[in-house]
Structure 1
Amino acid sequence: MRNIFSIKSMLFTLAVACCFAACSKKDDTYYNYDKESSVFQGNSYEYLQRFPGLYDSMLLVIDRLGGLKDSLVSGEVTLFAINNNSFNLAMKNLNLRRATMQPARPPLTLATLDSAHLDTLACRYILRGLYNTDRVVGNADGILAPNIKYDYSMNLLYERVNAGGYVGGGPQQLFFSDPKETPFEIFWVTTKTQIVNVKTNNGIVHVLSSGHDFGFGNEFVERMNK
């Protein structure tokens, strides 16, 4: 009986040790997830061109507005890339408002939007200087970063998402907020990234989620529906 008990105890000890070893290995895997940045051999404007059908709307807007293309080609800037769906959402909301007015107003397109207001909003997605996640991490309230025009700052907040049941074990992301010129966060409009830290020849690119509404909320409709 004593020998049987000893064998069972030894098997149990071995099972626990194997379990801890497996968990430790898995912990290390998640801890090191997404640690390295991607590198694109080209400038930030060429990064948008690299994906036909994805950033066409942003390229159209940039090409309409003076100076933005030059900044993305040779300036030291951080770009938050917006895909076509984000512009489609904004234009759908705008034209729905116009269609339901009395009298109804004709629909607008990105090519016919007021360029001054469009420039004000588009510049919020291009920051002066380089902001990767290493520059933001450790700031519990995020950091304010100036855009390339208008003396207007955006807020960047770092988060490492959960994965596989491990808190903070997944990929990195940024919360990108328009503070609307108020310190009260309840009035801020926030979106998230789905890709971070793409290093180009002249800058950093972060890609926003496809559910983002260009212009950060109702401000786009209010500005354009004149």
Structure 2
Amino acid sequence: MSDKQLALVTGANKGLGYEIAAGLGARGYRVAVGARDEARGEAAVKTLHTAGVDAFAVPLDVTSDRSVTEAAELIERQGGRLDALVNNAAISGEMGPGWRQDPTTLDLDVVRKIVETNVFGVIRVTNAMLPFLRRATSPRIVNISSSVGSVTLQADPDIEVGPIMAAYAPTKSYLNAVTVHYARQFTGTDILINAACPGLVATDFSGFRGRPPQEAAATAIRLATLPDGGPNGSFFNDDGAIPW
């Protein structure tokens, strides 16, 4: 066991999640690398070790009650305290031409699958990890959202917010709303929870379009390491607060 602060990042074996894990590790955190594929999680941990990061793999499928329970048991064995939780794991669902999801032709099974990961998965993991977060001195939760989930921005015809993503984007709106309700529940406690928009990130999630994941990880890392008295229940990108 270690006296270091411990952070759990879901979907951390590659892309944005990996860079968030690496960034927290560089700041002295011990990092639990959540990954649905155990072998890929172990490979990510090996790479992090090479970079000098104290990390261990956590097999974690956010859509599975059993997997999340087993992950919580592993966190308990690793010290039973969690200083930061970054809910990064997400899926976009199948895209149509032009990287679009047409609301008039949506497959509801696809929508259900995205909601299961992007919303229910966050709730499932957060609630399972809350006992360990409550044991920390300054616990932080970061939900990785997106500007496409901002109803304000999406509804403004004068703002370019990318293609129509009628299956994926509403899951981020849902996640934003959930974040606000957690923040209300945590009022008067030491837990701070916020949503982060990393922008379009060049990973397999986006077809490798966008900015480098190392750059995109900055906002999440900042929110995961907020000082006491920092913001709670807000939505941020690199430039500051953005509208819900």
- TM-score clears 0.5: no
User: Greater CA radius of gyration, 1 or 2?
Assistant: 1
Larger relative contact order (CA 8 Å, sep ≥ 6) = 1
- Specify which structure has the higher proportion of strand: 1
